[in-house]
Structure 1
Amino acid sequence: MLAVVLLAGGGIRFAGSGGDESKPTAKASTDPGPGPTGDRGGGKAGKPSPAARDLRAEADALNAERGPGEAKVLWLQEGGVDLPRNGSDVYGPWIVGDTIVKAMFQTLSGYSVTDGHQKWSLRMPSNLCAAPSRATADGKIVLGIKSGHGDRASCDALQMVDLTTGKAGWHKTYERQGLWDGLSHVAMAINGDTVTVGRTTRTDAFRVSDGKVLFGKLPGNCQPFGFASGPEGIAATSCQTAADDHKEQQVQRIDPVTGKVQWTYKVKKGWQVAQFYLASPPVVSLKQDDKWAILVLNENGTYRSQLIGGTEDYVTECDEDLLTDGKSLDNCLGVAADDRAVYLATKPDPAARRPTNKVVAFDLNTGRTKWKAAAPAGQTLMPMRVEGGRLLMYLSAGKNKGGGIASLPPTGGTPQMVLRHPAAAAAVERDFFASRVAYLNGRSFLVHARISGIDDEAEKSMKSIVGFGN
């Protein structure tokens, strides 16, 4: 089973209601090694960092102070890698069975979810530059990597990997044509056995299992520039109206195998598709400069509603908010949706001594508020996803208060804790201020979306993953 992973921005109010063919090298980890302390094999020379430390004693000390009903710190991990200047983006995590996987710099690494022991490590021929938010149902993924080295290396190579075993599959490059294509960020997604590689002017699609090209540029001047991962092929499309203008956009359902357009919804001119919060039914984030709107469509692509935000400010934390090369159109914390409602987090008052917020549910049919639920004092709630009919949320750590995973029923009310992180680890948890949050099978993980430091030692010692569970 694969986890849905979400990014942990700023608040905003709604805008009214209207070719390198070298192969990766794999290294299986069969000995205990240095413990859950770093990404062995990911340094500049592909060697373990001598600064990597065993953090099991630190986790044990935090657990010794646990209170009743609090989960354990399962394990901690440092960055442990000597990175280029300005640090490195972290892709993932992806959870497959009992393995959690992250990708950083030039290395993909798999760790045991229970104790952080490194199970395998796979070295890429060059830097990672893009990745989908999800893998296939059987644990395969295709990563974007650069086809060369140096500042001018282009993000135009793909590497398939089996996340269960850490074994590399097919590897190929694709052509980026023209100035717009060459300069645009890459947005990757997986739909069934298809991986799409979107850019400003086109999307190329490949079969995950064998790398076969499925489709490229589509007929006409409107081209998809990004898909949302998942079973449905929901795409954001840009229509070129002039040589330097790509702001007429559409939402389309596109068959991920053939590229055939099944329906089209034209977005109001000047507005751009920013994120997909849900593919079925489509819930779409639209941006225009500092304006924001959330659009709900019917399954056939016709208009259903637009959320009416009122006087509240709302906040989401998405991949698009990071200064990264690879973008994702479907990876946000602070928003969730199902077939009944859209759930958003309000922006906490930054001037408050103990900032807190609310979760607001909006009716899909009317766009109006259904209910509001307050976070505990001094903490914030960020919606993650709906599972088993209940809204799952990440509760941030407060001063001397552990965070955790909380839930709400469809009717709202008082949040109930699903997994309570220990208060003793609150300081550690609060350091993960820009992180991705994963929750699956009673375990939660915080993973920094970027590793950097003021010097090499700070970079290596920055904690990259913390896991909690019972």
Structure 2
Amino acid sequence: MTQPPDQPPQGGFGAPQDQPPPAGGFGAPQQPPAQGGFGAPPPLPPQPPYGSPVPPQQPHPGYGYPQQPGPYAQPGPYGPQPGYGYPQQPPYPGGPVTTPPPGSGAGGGGPFRGRPALVVAAAVAGLLVVGGTVYAVTGGGGGGKKPVARQSDDPKASGTPVNPGDGSGNGGKDPENLNTGRKPGEAKVLWYKSAPDAPANGADAPGMWITGKTAVKAAYKQVFAYNVGNGNPTWAPITFPQKICAVTAHKSADDKVVVAYMNGTSDQAKCNQLQEIDLNTGNKGWTATVADGGLFDSALSIALTISGKTLMVGRSESGTAYDLGSGDKLYDKKKYGTACFPTAFAGGTDRLIEVASCDAGGSDEHDEISQLDPATGRVEWTQPVKKGWQVQRTYSVDPLVVYMTNEDKKAWNISTLDGKGTFRSEVKVDEKFAPQCGWALLTRDLQGCQGVAADADTLYLPTDVSGGANEIVAISLADGRAKWRVKSPTDESMYPVKAEGGKLVAYVRPSYDAGGQVVSVPTAGASHETTRLLQNPQHTADIEDSFYDGAVDWVDGRFYVSSTRLTGSDQAKEKLMMAFGN
């Protein structure tokens, strides 16, 4: 992190940097890890954030944002701000792990099985730069012990039948009974679903939305819905004429989502067809076609963001807002100032965050962060970022926590902004963190990370040990320092799922001789030990671990895991989704 101007180096969470940290305030970006960890965002092309750039640092392996040792004095992304600014973390070592792009052949493994990100080759990087972002790809499955399912020889094991794939367009029934061999104390496999057929080069399976009664999953050209308790279909699958290319990461307060699909199959096909869906009934609401924004601002790739009752559709250089209830267009967000183009959006319950790229390629090239009124698009505040820094991810929207990188300095930074856009604090922990972050092509996916959580005053990040037991560090949003940390209860990695009710819920990956676990950790008080909420069966550990870059959720005492990418392989029947419970 960066140090305040003329102030001595501050200790804290960030790993020491090889060079003096920026003298900026809380937002001084830290150097991105050479290899991304579970949550460390991949390095992107240099974009000026709020302050002066941080000195280049050596990449650190592993989860997070390790800072490199060294003097503290370089300016941070937001510019000098009293009280803020700690040593910045080393170059791209602690950035989020980025999942490989479709068809890359990389990846594999189960939920949160990220590997250090690799800088994309020059040719690919060139393409990414055109989209305003530089990406990293994760390596193959590896890292840690590969779970191997074993039939239990415990005669008391439960044989409760499991509801398999139902044949409604999802690969047909699966003969396995996944509760055979379940040991006493282990959770049940409530149900599981086989994946639909996918092309040989694979297909996306984005999104997973859980309501009070329905678990909904998109895969390739379809959206499926299952009863949360028994897995029976709650409504017939919705099938689109072309592949699904974008979805809203979160549902609305009244359980609505929007799905985008391609308008054709050619190289010129666009991701511009929108369909609203009611998750509880399967009713298809309004539809719309997203218009291009300009010569270099087409709808080839878009990002969908829900904020309150507004849907924001982001292109590479602009955005269009729709009324989520009616589909009526509300407003456009276009170029402003001399040369500022909106490039990404992030939404919360009643907050809409915009990131703009200004004077690209010019002498005043930098990013700007703004908060918008979701209903009108009115700008409530704008905070420029120093030249050289680029905003890559939002680890939380409310409170606003952003992850930034500086390509030239090989640095990264995690900063918190308050409700008025003022730089509040930056992470000062000497650690490598590793949230799991998805791949984006032509648009910045600000909300594409899981394995990170936040509440009103604390950020929870997993450390990276490349496949073994790790820790979750609770970081104060007031000063960026570690409040406490808790170690994984097993020899496998543990990742935050959500913070709620005064507790942090986390997922522990399966191991060779045990299924995964869902645990809780008290967020207040003196003790922060894990309490097991669910122990998944050892017999299905290999299946649990096989979900490609799996999405996970914990709702009403049930644990859900689903694939986000289908391999299209005919060699084995892929699972699309599983649910566990007591």
SS at match of 1:133: coil
1-side partners of 2:365 and 2:354: how far apart? 12
Show the 5 A alignment for 1:215-254. 215-218=331-334, 219-220=336-337, 221-242=339-360, 248-254=366-372
Provide the residue aligned with 2:377 in structure 1: 259
Provide the residue aligned with 2:149 in structure 1: none
Provide the residue aligned with 2:184 in structure 1: 67
Provide the residue aligned with 1:29 in structure 2: none
Show the 5 A alignment for 1:114-125. 114-119=229-234, 120-125=236-241
Are 1:305 and 2:430 matched, yes or no? no
SS at match of 1:434: coil
Show the 5 A alignment for 1:97-136. 97-119=212-234, 120-136=236-252
Provide the residue aligned with 2:451 in structure 1: 334
Task: Report the CA distance between 1:77 and its aligned residue.
Answer: 1.5
Provide the residue aligned with 1:465 in structure 2: 577
8 Å contact from structure 2 (residues 534, 581) kept in 1? yes
State the TM-score, normalized to the length of structure 2: 0.69
Task: Report the CA distance between 1:234 and its aligned residue.
Answer: 3.3
Percentage of pairs with the same residue = 33
Task: Report the CA distance between 1:283 and its aligned residue.
Answer: 1.0
2-side partners of 1:180 and 1:451: how far apart? 31
Provide the residue aligned with 1:456 in structure 2: 570
2-side partners of 1:396 and 1:246: how far apart? 45
SS at match of 1:238: strand
Task: Report the CA distance between 1:12 and its aligned residue.
Answer: 4.1
Greater RCO (CA < 8 Å, at least 6 residues apart): 2
1-side partners of 2:543 and 2:182: how far apart? 14
Task: Report the CA distance between 1:373 and its aligned residue.
Answer: 0.9
Change (3 A) 1:326 1:99: farther
Q: Which one-letter code corresponds to 1:98 in the other structure?
A: K
Among residues 13, 20, 34, which one is paired with 2:65 in the alignment? 13
2-side partners of 1:66 and 1:260: how far apart? 57
SS at match of 2:333: coil
8 Å contact from structure 2 (residues 63, 462) kept in 1? no
Task: Report the CA distance between 1:247 and its aligned residue.
Answer: 5.9
Q: Which one-letter code corresponds to 2:165 in the other structure?
A: T
8 Å contact from structure 1 (residues 189, 226) kept in 2? no
1-side partners of 2:488 and 2:476: how far apart? 21
1-side partners of 2:305 and 2:255: how far apart? 14
1-side partners of 2:271 and 2:363: how far apart? 23
Change (3 A) 1:242 1:432: closer
Change (3 A) 1:451 1:151: same
SS at match of 2:401: strand
Provide the residue aligned with 2:5 in structure 1: none
Task: Report the CA distance between 1:224 and its aligned residue.
Answer: 3.0
Are 1:361 and 2:481 matched, yes or no? no
Provide the residue aligned with 2:523 in structure 1: 410
Provide the residue aligned with 1:40 in structure 2: 168
2-side partners of 1:368 and 1:410: how far apart? 15
Provide the residue aligned with 2:15 in structure 1: none
Provide the residue aligned with 1:3 in structure 2: none
RMSD: 2.5
Q: Which one-letter code corresponds to 1:466 in the other structure?
A: M
SS at match of 2:291: coil
2-side partners of 1:11 and 1:359: how far apart? 11
Task: Report the CA distance between 1:242 and its aligned residue.
Answer: 4.0
Change (3 A) 1:97 1:8: farther
8 Å contact from structure 1 (residues 8, 436) kept in 2? no
Show the 5 A alignment for 1:169-248. 169-182=285-298, 185-218=301-334, 219-220=336-337, 221-242=339-360, 248=366
Give CA deviations for 1:388-422 in whole Å, capped at 9, x if unaligned. 01111111111211212111112452211122212
SS at match of 1:180: coil
8 Å contact from structure 1 (residues 392, 406) kept in 2? yes
Change (3 A) 1:183 1:125: closer
Task: Report the CA distance between 1:333 and its aligned residue.
Answer: 2.3
Change (3 A) 1:93 1:425: same
Change (3 A) 1:433 1:450: closer
8 Å contact from structure 2 (residues 188, 581) kept in 1? yes
8 Å contact from structure 1 (residues 36, 117) kept in 2? no
Give CA deviations for 1:427-446 in whole Å, capped at 9, x if unaligned. 22121251000110010111
Deviates more, 1:225-234 or 1:440-449: 225-234
Change (3 A) 1:104 1:245: farther
Q: Tell me, which stretches of 5 or more residues in structure 1 are unaligned?
A: 1-6, 19-33, 42-47
SS at match of 2:514: coil
Are 1:346 and 2:463 matched, yes or no? yes
8 Å contact from structure 2 (residues 222, 239) kept in 1? yes
Deviates more, 1:371-380 or 1:223-232: 223-232
1-side partners of 2:570 and 2:560: how far apart? 25
SS at match of 1:181: coil
1-side partners of 2:166 and 2:441: how far apart? 22
Deviates more, 1:371-380 or 1:207-216: 371-380
State the TM-score, normalized to the length of structure 1: 0.84
Among residues 255, 265, 290, which one is paired with 1:149 in the alignment? 265
Change (3 A) 1:436 1:327: farther
* Paired positions, count: 426
Give CA deviations for 1:166-187 in whole Å, capped at 9, x if unaligned. 1211112121133432376422
Provide the residue aligned with 1:295 in structure 2: 415
Q: Which has the higher strand share?
A: 1
Q: Which one-letter code corresponds to 1:65 in the other structure?
A: R
SS at match of 1:428: helix
2-side partners of 1:409 and 1:247: how far apart? 44
2-side partners of 1:192 and 1:328: how far apart? 19
1-side partners of 2:414 and 2:201: how far apart? 34
Provide the residue aligned with 1:314 in structure 2: 433
Q: Which one-letter code corresponds to 1:271 in the other structure?
A: W
Task: Report the CA distance between 1:256 and its aligned residue.
Answer: 0.9
